Structure formats: structure tokens, C-alpha cells
């Protein structure tokens, strides 16, 4: 089934890790499940760039509507960097703040559920068998992109493009492990993917709600618990 909500997968590339010294070079994004290619916007797409290669106001302005449209967003360490950098730039340029959109940061899903030598997206995605490969980060290329060299900008945007695809792939693999995943469907559907393909897998005892029905989604593999009454409603929805 189609996703009942709009889930935004996104990533940014910048010339520095702090907003007062750095500039956002490009932003890549796509909607989960869309067959359309990754959307990439970079500084050089806007006429103002020819006068000031550090002016990223138009870039964050162009991305802002996506933050409003999203029902939920997915990043890799986005709560630690990407989201903060974009918010810093919105503040710098006197623009409106973004909404408080539910956010799945896969870095913390990895941290809570996997034991790997490194938790960088490159290592995680290779471990999970992602067919898209990350391009290496080359400091000189990033500096040249900031200075306006077209071939460097092209390299950085390609890097961002791949990161968005890799993040989407990683999300679909790790989605069942995201414990605080927002509910994307009805109360009768899987919390993680919105499918109605839930099966009864016995019971679970909780500290606050007592005995609950334990269910597993046959679409994405995620586990959840529902009340006994909710399970009866779920069975009716499946039959319908």
C-alpha cells in the first residue's frame, strides 16, 4: 500500500560544522517510496550566488516548504547536525522556524540496537548491504565547492544525492528497530509502516497497562503491543 503519510528523507552538505563559520552548500531530499530521483538544490542554483558564494538564504528558503509538508522526517545524525544547521541558518537569515515534526534519527537507532566498529553511515550501510555507495569526503573538494568551482559543487551534490538514497535504504532496514517510531497509520495498522498485515504472537506484560496482545507486522517485521480490545478491532479491519 502507499504510505499514508509523507515521510521526508533528507541530508545537507556544508562547508563547516558550525553555522557561524560555515555555509550550506546543498540540500538533498526525497519522499519515502517515491520513484522520483532525489531532489538536490545547491547554492549555485540561485542568482544571488554569483554575487556572494556564502549566501545560503535562498537555499534554506527553498527547502523550508518541505519541512512544512512533511508529516515525519528521517535523517542520519540529523538531530545532531543537519536539523540544527538548517535551524541556525533560518535564524541567521531572519526566517520563520520550522514545525516540530516527528523525527527518526537513524544514528540513535543504530546506537541502541547494533554493535559495530564504527557508527558512521558508510559503515552501517555497507554492513546492511546497501547497493548505493558513499563517496569519500575530500576536504579540498568541499573548500573548492564553497569557493564556487563547478566540478567541486558537482562532486558535493553527488555525495549528497547518494547519502539520501543510502539513508532511505538504511531506514527501511532499521525501521522495525525504531522504538519511538511515530504511528504512520490507523490504530489498527502497523505503527511503523501502516500496513494491516499484523499477526497475533501471544501476549506481553507491561508495567502500566497490564496484559497486552503482542503483534508482528508481516510487511516490515516490526513488533508492537495492543490492547485486547484494539486487537479485536484490528481483526475486523483485516477482514474488511
Dump the DSSP string for 119-130.
-SHHHHHHHTT-
pLDDT value of residue 229? 82
Query: In this predicted model, what pLDDT tens digit does every residue of 131-159 receive, in sequence order?
Result: 999 999 999 999 999 998 999 999 999 99
Least Cα distance to 131 among 164, 166, 172 occurs for 166
pLDDT for 164 equals: 98
The pTM for the full model equals: 0.92
In degrees, rounded to 5, the angle at the alpha carbon of residue 17 between the alpha carbons of residues 15 and 23 is: 35
Domain with CATH 3.30.420.10 in the chain: 7-177
Per-residue pLDDT reduced to its tens digit, 166-203 = 999 999 999 999 988 999 988 889 999 999 999 999 99
The pLDDT value recorded for residue 238 is: 82
CA 205 from centre of chain: 32
Residue 4 confidence (pLDDT): 67
Which of 22-31, 40-49, 67-76, 95-104 is least confident? 40-49
- 7-177 — its CATH code? 3.30.420.10
Amino acid at each position: 500500500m502507499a504510505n499514508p503519510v509523507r515521510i521526508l528523507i533528507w541530508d545537507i552538505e556544508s562547508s563547516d560544522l558550525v553555522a557561524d563559520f560555515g555555509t550550506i552548500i546543498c540540500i538533498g531530499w526525497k519522499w519515502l517510496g517515491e520513484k522520483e530521483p532525489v531532489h538536490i538544490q545547491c547554492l549555485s542554483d540561485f542568482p544571488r550566488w554569483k554575487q556572494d558564494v556564502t549566501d545560503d538564504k535562498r537555499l534554506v528558503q527553498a527547502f523550508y516548504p518541505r519541512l512544512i509538508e512533511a508529516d515525519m522526517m528521517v535523517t542520519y545524525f540529523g538531530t545532531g547536525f543537519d536539523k540544527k544547521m538548517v535551524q541556525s541558518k533560518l535564524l541567521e537569515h531572519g526566517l520563520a522556524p520550522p514545525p516540530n515534526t516527528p523525527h527518526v534519527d537513524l544514528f540513535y537507532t543504530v546506537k541502541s540496537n547494533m554493535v559495530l566498529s564504527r557508527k558512521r553511515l558508510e559503515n552501517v550501510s555497507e554492513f546492511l548491504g546497501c547497493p548505493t555507495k558513499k563517496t569519500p569526503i575530500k576536504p579540498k573538494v568541499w573548500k573548492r565547492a564553497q569557493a564556487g568551482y563547478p566540478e567541486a559543487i558537482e562532486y558535493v551534490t553527488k555525495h549528497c544525492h547518494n547519502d539520501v538514497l543510502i539513508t532511505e535504504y538504511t531506514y527501511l532496514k532499521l525501521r522495525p528497530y525504531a522504538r519511538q517510531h511515530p504511528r504512520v497509520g490507523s490504530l489498527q495498522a502497523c505503527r511503523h509502516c501502516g500496513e494491516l498485515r499484523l499477526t497475533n504472537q501471544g501476549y506481553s506484560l507491561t508495567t502500566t497497562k497490564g496484559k497486552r496482545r503482542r503483534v508482528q507486522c508481516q510487511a516490515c517485521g516490526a513488533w508492537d503491543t495492543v490492547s485486547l480490545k484494539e486487537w479485536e478491532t484490528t481483526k475486523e479491519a483485516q477482514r474488511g
